[in-house]
Chain A
């Protein structure tokens, strides 16, 4: 496996940084790393649909969470929903994957908490067995709200909010018109609020193209009424580089 770079912080706000070049953020004051949408088991679902993924995805997901947490001296990790992929009961590979992830986190003396996502229904029991704190709708860290994003939450919680669910990406065209697609972290500051939307940790999960799909067609109801043209995308090519791009409206 190739050697991956040591994580460095890129500041988004005074208290929130990107754990570059990994698809996660650091809450500096608390020493907590936040990562969203792991979708453990997605590769197995693909296999079940006739798409063979010759490499193993789980080690990549684990590495892209543990490595930045270690590099940046974190004390714990918050998983922002959609830990596993299947909506239904926990499949064997999911069970295996989740356990392996939690073991790895604990081996590294990191704490772990989970904010519930829409794919996580059946995993609650597993997490309870592993004695992992679970937050049903959201988690408050200082003034920051962490929520998965599939459901609207109380308006007063939306001052400073970190979301997952959307798997943001942007598409860029090169000089002859060939499209390239990248994962991106989206940062939007409005008059009253601040939104940070995390990309999925899974290398297999690309979701909405923020510079093409209109806000009201986004998956998350929280985004439906926002003006996304002012949002700033940070392209994150996991394990390679992070690059801030001009506002969505200008792309």
Chain B
């Protein structure tokens, strides 16, 4: 089936979603995904961050679709024409989605463990605006311990349901889900029952934001100060393929391996994730390849490095253009600019 996304035509198998077709073309065309997670069945369609415009439904019926469609769950038709980043309407809508997602999300990135590998941060950086329009008080929740390893900070949750699907599909005896409705809905374990399962730790990896964090790693380091290294071990329960995160010689965190879309294909067990934190327990396989977009890849040996696309002076000018009322003088001294 031929599908055209942002003027690039690609041949894909029937049944492919627009999102996956775009991913086959490359990361510059792929819509952002906050809730869609390919390995999890039924995920997607909720965050509306991946809405795209379909300007021609198919070859047979070339009428445009009346509404923007979620690309993660909409299957391509032969001859479909899709506009992602070239459509003003799509970009305008995404600005709105970022605004909605940040409405009750605390702007505590400086103390959030997820900062640097946060999907919402990346989404807001690419599609958001620099100024907030809300003066309303944010909804808040108390942080909750979900067993010995996992901390839930509901304030940061964007209700993507990924952890619910993970718990449902890869652990047995799901004990957590979504309680309540609307913007007071929350992820909860029902009477705060501990998540106690060999694969429960994977909810941390699938969480796009810092709502579910690893208690053995909390506040230990910023992610960009640690070096990721692929490693494996012969574990009876899982594949044993992990990423070790080093600070100096110390393994400060173990996660499952994520592909370039930030998705885990092989989930790992809690023993590998929380208990094996010595290099001697692992066989090292070399530096982890991190997608170019991520801040983690900055200053990493062997990994892609980010070079600013424009010099500092232009960056400051750019900032002023976006939002004139914002005081940027403290960022770059005026002297240096001239």
Query: Are A and B bound to each other?
Result: no
| Interface residue ranges, A against B (CB under 8 Å) | none
